[in-house]
Amino acid sequence: MKTVFGIAMMLLLSGRTLAGGYVTNTNHNAAFLRNPAQDGKIDINALYSNPAGIGFLNNGWHLSFNVQSAYQNRDVTSNFGTSLSPLGLYSLGTVNGTANGAGEKEFKGRAKAPVIPALDVAYVQDKWSAMFHFALAGGGGKCDFEDGLGSFESLMAMMPLAINAGAGATIVDGYSMDSWMKGRQYYFGFQFQGGYKVLDNLNVSAGVRGVYASCAYEGYVGNIKMHTTAAAAAVGVPTNVFVPASVFLVGAKASLAADRELDVTQSGFGVTPIVGVDWKINNNWNVAAKYEFGTRLRLKNSTSVNTTGLASYDDSEEQAADIPALLTVGAQYSPIKAVRLNVGGHLYFDKQAKQEGNRQEKLDGQTWELLAGAEWDINDWATVSAGWQTTNYGLGENSQYISDMSFVTNSNSFGLGARFKVAKNVAIDVAYFKTLYQHYRVDYADYNNIGARFGALVGNPSMKVAGYNDYYRTNDVFGLGVNITL
């Protein structure tokens, strides 16, 4: 139990919170939301996606400020037991005062980030350009699992079997527990970039992004009790009531019923070198590429409470949390002046980004994305746009990379919105972005390794407890941006 609880808290919010590779957000502004294919665009809002393209803007200052609101559901439907019948072992449970009901149980996580800011500033003077970009390079919100997760509860659900096996009779027929967890994860990115126009139609750029990570995780599993049967009278225990599980567990087994709590904040800093190139072939075609080097990042603990039994959460300990390298390519084609068609591709080198416990080694391949979009200037003051993005993670089949604590699934995202020119040098972007994730089911021959954990307690060291998790997410993002040219 100590191990599972600790791993869960470590992985609670790690992963892709918005769009992009492992702890890498690419949706930094409303312009992305209404047309994700920004990699070949020349626009102040494309400063993150195509910094080299900034050199082709008009001389002078260019500013953009954006705010996004993101809301995400992370749901895991779980079941396990001696068979995969609808009435699995979760049916014995009561969590936070509410009975589970059927054996198949849905664990719901809710993540929200009401305010996600971003700022772009660029100055262009003939062949030279200078840029600054601030945004959440990763993470971006808070997530709550009000009833915990199956990784925790499955251990409690096995305890009645273990207690009854030890007593040689059915003296308990249910369990109760209190469980919750929550966390937040923000990776603040401060990017400084310079550009130079090598040729009239070829611009290059180089820069760095400083990433400051600030994370916090809290969780609790405790008040563990067993519901007794009439047979419990034979061992001197009150019947038909919930009693502390510690009544039935002595010696080394007593630790199974101990409360576990974690309250830790983490912080770390890393540097990401960035290079880019943009080739403006003619007035109809523009192509660009960007490479972000991998970022070494170590998160240092500041721990208030740690009764998980894991030293990795002790105060001042560090955990590996590298940000993967990223290669992007993009193109823009304008068949007529008022219409722009965009395509792009992303490759994230997730397998080379070191994570705590070398979790990245469980990936089957790298993450890749394809993007496409279009914009149409309806008139001098209004532009409408829409776009699509598909994200494919290197999970393979029945992936052990994901768990109920941290999971991603392949997805398709659709964005739409508009830009309105409200003054000569001022425009406003509004957008909506929806992500549709695929279900991903993982079957376990021994769910959460609990057969191996409890086999010795029930006299069956080779016991296996089959089970499954079905993972699903939904994501909605709203954006508003203001663009100013001076």
Residue 188 corresponds to which tokens in the numbers above?
Answer: 């603040």
**What one-character-per-residue DSSP string does 67-126 give?**
EEEEEEEEEEEEEEESS--SS-GGGGEEETTEE--SSSEEEEEEEEEEEEEEEEEEEEET
pLDDT at residue 174 greater than cutoff 80: yes
Give the pLDDT band (50/70/90) at residue 14: very low
User: In one letter, which amino acid is 321?
Assistant: A
Dihedral sign of CA atoms 173, 178, 184, 185 in order: negative
Phi-psi region of 335 (alpha: psi -120 to 50; beta: other; left: phi over 0): alpha
Whether residue 244 contacts residue 159, with contact meaning beta carbons closer than 8 Å, is answered with no
Tens digit of pLDDT for each residue in 65-82?
999 988 888 888 888 886
Query: 141 or 89, which is more confident?
Result: 89
Tens digit of pLDDT for each residue in 327-367?
999 999 999 999 999 999 999 999 999 988 888 888 899 99
pLDDT given for residue 9 in this prediction: 43
Residue 52 corresponds to which tokens in the numbers above?
Answer: 């080299």
Dihedral sign of CA atoms 146, 148, 150, 155 in order: negative
pLDDT given for residue 36 in this prediction: 95
Identify the CATH number of the domain in which residue 261 sits.
2.40.160.60
Q: What is the average pLDDT score of the chain?
A: 87
Cα–Cα–Cα angle for 185, 409, 93, rounded to 5 degrees? 75
**What one-character-per-residue DSSP string does 244-255 give?**
EGGGT--GGGGG
pLDDT at residue 13 greater than cutoff 70: no
171: exposed, middle or buried (Cβ count in 10 Å: 0-12, 13-18, 19+) = buried
pLDDT given for residue 273 in this prediction: 98
Whether residue 16 contacts residue 24, with contact meaning beta carbons closer than 8 Å, is answered with yes
> Cα(179)–Cα(483) distance, rounded to whole angstroms?
46
pLDDT at residue 252 greater than cutoff 80: no
Whether residue 162 contacts residue 209, with contact meaning beta carbons closer than 8 Å, is answered with no
Tens digit of pLDDT for each residue in 15-68?
444 455 566 778 889 999 999 999 999 999 999 999 999 999 999 999 999 999
Q: Considering the chain, what percentage of its residues have pLDDT values greater than 70?
A: 92
Q: What is the pTM assigned to this prediction?
A: 0.88
Query: 460 or 192, which is more confident?
Result: 192
> Cα(5)–Cα(401) distance, rounded to whole angstroms?
17
Region 96-106 average pLDDT: 86
pLDDT given for residue 87 in this prediction: 59
Helices and strands in the chain, H and E counts: 4, 20
Whether residue 112 contacts residue 72, with contact meaning beta carbons closer than 8 Å, is answered with yes
Find where tokens 């409408």 sit: 384
Whole-Å CA distances, 120 to 224, 233, 409, 477: 51, 71, 31, 20
Owning domain of residue 193 = 2-485
Query: 57 or 160, which is more confident?
Result: 57
Whether residue 86 contacts residue 102, with contact meaning beta carbons closer than 8 Å, is answered with yes
pLDDT given for residue 82 in this prediction: 63
**What one-character-per-residue DSSP string does 272-296 give?**
EEEEEEEE--SSSEEEEEEEE--B-
Query: 220 or 63, which is more confident?
Result: 63
Task: Provide the number of structural domains found in the chain.
Answer: 1
Residue 61 corresponds to which tokens in the numbers above?
Answer: 């200052």
Helix spans in 413-486 (H): 450-454
